Structure 1
């Protein structure tokens, strides 16, 4: 089995490797255990012992190849992939011959393990309820074959009938259960990816709706006033000029509001930005935790501080989703020592993290660091093993806020003093 990542950023690759090795390891061990006495018995003819070894190797190889095909390297790939028919036929023949050899040597217990294992592997490629139908029929056939053979040999038929049937059912239960667990994990991983994609699409729809509301309103008013100004151009030039000035003002307002929407400033507070980011991370299957100091009210941070921290929050979230294999993320915002500090940390960082320029001009970490520095702030990022931390800090006017509160209190009490 080649060690190919199934889905970067998840543990599905490790789970695939664990499932494959567990199934093949247990199968090979019990198959070898079932024939070890006959292979080591010198009283058994050499040709029979060699045939047992050959069929054992063929069965294990067929199970390994078939299981690799059943556990896809690409998510949700298995339903559309054809089963390895040749390997399944070869493994079925090998398991059958191995079972016949053991049964001929009067091993009335473990002779059915080889056929049961191959039937279980074949059943995993069948849809609906057919897997258990095949296993049930095989169990009934093993019970009849074992009981009849034991009776013809003058042996007790109860054990020879019950044990092979139970072994077939137990083998099918374990094999189908392991591969069923893989299917569930794969579907959950696909649901996680779809949920993250839907979160991004919802954000795009929100942006489109905001842009439509702004542009639709402004453009409609601009069109009406422009039409009115055109009609008044000859009859009342002064009023037409006033209407065109109004059109110019509306165009400027539309441009300003559009820029605000593009930058994410319009009707979105820093607290909402942090909440949206944690929800997007959670939708991507990342354990996102938020620590927000409720005392750090936006009024303590002068413009353009909240907007810059909102951009840092978006850029850090984008980098986590796009460039890391994070499983955990922490977002914190608080005011300490006169500084508003925003911290975004995640694990699963790549070996060679970039500078954040991948997201485009004006929004990369390097550019944001320059913009924060221009207003007296600082933006840093560091990598510690697989942990990546982005920290943005800006001066918070706590002293100024306290002074303003004191002035307001004094103004309120001044009329009473008079």
Structure 2
């Protein structure tokens, strides 16, 4: 666009008969040099394909500045050529795009003042009227800078939006990978722990009670099939853990492990939103798996209630042997509940280890 303006401006005074032939040749060469310099400089300044803007090539910056000076001085010596500051204004604007905002404003202000002084002096010397000769060049420099920097600002905003969109897509992929890893950890950790427990029990019963040993191995086979099915469901993105299923499963599994487990339910979990049922189900599953894997519990209580606009699950056992939160499962679950506006906390209370997860509920979610 600015090259077009330069060509339209230059064609009027280059063809004037009072302009010497050598001056026309110099002006034409300067127009070509400045055109190439503008293409190189603006191309370097405007990022593309996610790449940042580069440093200005100083050789082309100097060549463009010299060409702009020629295209400003020659028409300044001719009568009636008020657009003489166009080429210098364009070059000043291009140079300003490479500067930080503070230095950019200083450069543009200095160019405005210089254009006003040169134009006023030339107008006074030729008798064309110094007021208009002072105000017009200054306004032209300011308008050119405003136009170029405004377009550059719009380009930069569009580039930042494109990069933000690409980053959002990348983060969505990473979040999905984390979700998949957490679900796979929950499924495989739980199933494998129960399989290991029942396999050990079957090995102990093999000689004393073969019938019970066979029953335990049948249960191991069922658990292995369930684990395979759940893993496939996670890969396909269809599986959702639910609190009611995990409460029933926890009581059965803990009892099979010889732990006196008591489930206290004040409200049916099926009145909760799907997200709350899923997350609190994950908490129940992780707590049950950790109890089987890391504790020597004899007694356990699992309490679920809805009160004060939140759903809460509290799981306690009397046999924790590792520091609270030493594994990655609880920390990962805590982050997922925090993203949903809830909390997951754990603490030792005397000889008991207590895990509490809570989630806020929409108004009226637990009223039934």
Q: TM-score range by the shorter chain?
A: 0.5 to 0.7
Distance in 1 of aligned mates of 2:68 and 2:29: 11
Evaluate the alpha carbon distance shift between residue 160 and residue 96 of structure 1 in structure 2; reply closer, same or farther with a 3 A threshold. same
1:224 aligns with 2:194: no
Q: What SS class does the counterpart of residue 98 from structure 2 fall into?
A: coil
Q: Does the 8 Å CA contact 1:98/1:111 hold for their aligned counterparts? A: yes
Deviations 1:271-292 (A, max 9, x none): xxxxxxxxxxxxxxxxxxxxxx
Query: What residue is the counterpart of 2:101 in the other structure?
Result: 128
Cα shift at 1:236: 4.1
Q: Which moved more, 1:63-72 or 1:247-256?
A: 63-72
Q: Secondary structure at the match of 2:101?
A: coil
Of 112, 122, 127, the residue aligned with 1:149 is 122
Deviation at 1:40, TM superposition (A): 1.4
Q: Does 1:266 align with 2:239?
A: yes
Q: What are the residue-to-residue correspondences of 1:376-395 with 2, within 5 Å?
A: none
| Contact 1:109–1:159 (CA under 8 A) maintained in structure 2 | no
TM-score, length-scaled by structure 1: 0.53
Segments of 5+ residues of structure 1 without an aligned counterpart are 1-25, 269-418
- Once the two structures are superposed, residues 48-91 of structure 1 have per-residue CA deviations (whole angstroms, 9 ceiling, x without a partner) of 2222222122112211222222233422x133x22222111101
Give the Å deviation of 1:139: 0.8
251 and 29 in structure 1: CA distance in 2 versus 1, 3 angstrom threshold: closer
Is the 8 Å Cα contact of residues 45 and 55 (structure 2) preserved in structure 1? no
- What's the offset of the Cα at 1:121? 1.0
What's the counterpart of residue 268 of structure 2?
none
Aligned counterparts of 2:201 and 2:117: Cα–Cα separation in 1? 96
> Structure 1 residues 180-189 or 128-137, which shifts more?
128-137
Q: Does 1:44 align with 2:19?
A: yes
Q: Decide which structure has the larger Cα Rg and report it.
A: 2
> In 2 relative to 1, CA 202–105 (structure 1 residues): closer, same or farther, beyond 3 Å?
same
Task: Report the count of equivalent residues.
Answer: 241
User: Which residue of structure 2 lines up, in the alignment, with residue 78 of structure 1?
Assistant: 52
CA RMSD between the two structures: 2.2
How many Å separate the matches in 2 of 1:211 and 1:205? 10
TM-aligned CA deviation for residue 207 of structure 1: 2.4
Contact 1:108 1:146 in 2 (8 A): no
Q: How has the CA–CA distance of structure 1 residues 252 and 50 changed in structure 2, closer, same or farther, with 3 Å as cutoff?
A: same
Deviation string for 1:103-151 (max 9, x for gaps)?
2224562111100001111111223343233212111111112112322
Q: What stretches of structure 2 of length at least 5 have no aligned partner?
A: 242-368
Q: Deviations over 1:250-282 (max 9, x none)?
A: 1121112212222333249xxxxxxxxxxxxxx
From 114, 131, 156, the equivalent of 1:183 is 156
| Partner deviation per Cα, 1:157-204 (whole Å, 9 max, x = no partner) | 111111111000100111111122111111111222222222233333
Tell me whether 1:137 sits opposite 2:91 in the alignment.
no
Q: Distance in 2 between matches of 1:258 and 1:64?
A: 57
Name the counterpart of 1:369. none
CA drift of 1:155 comes to 3.7
Tell me what 1:171 maps to.
144
Distance 1:197 1:223 in 2: 38
Q: Is the 8 A contact 2:76 2:84 kept in 1?
A: yes
Q: Structure 2 length as normaliser, TM-score?
A: 0.60
Find the counterpart in structure 2 of residue 315 from structure 1.
none
**For residues 284-307 of structure 1, what are the alpha-carbon distances to aligned partners after superposition, in whole Å with 9 as ceiling and x for unaligned?**
xxxxxxxxxxxxxxxxxxxxxxxx
Deviation at 1:232, TM superposition (A): 3.6
Q: Contact 1:108–1:150 at 8 Å: present in 2 too?
A: no
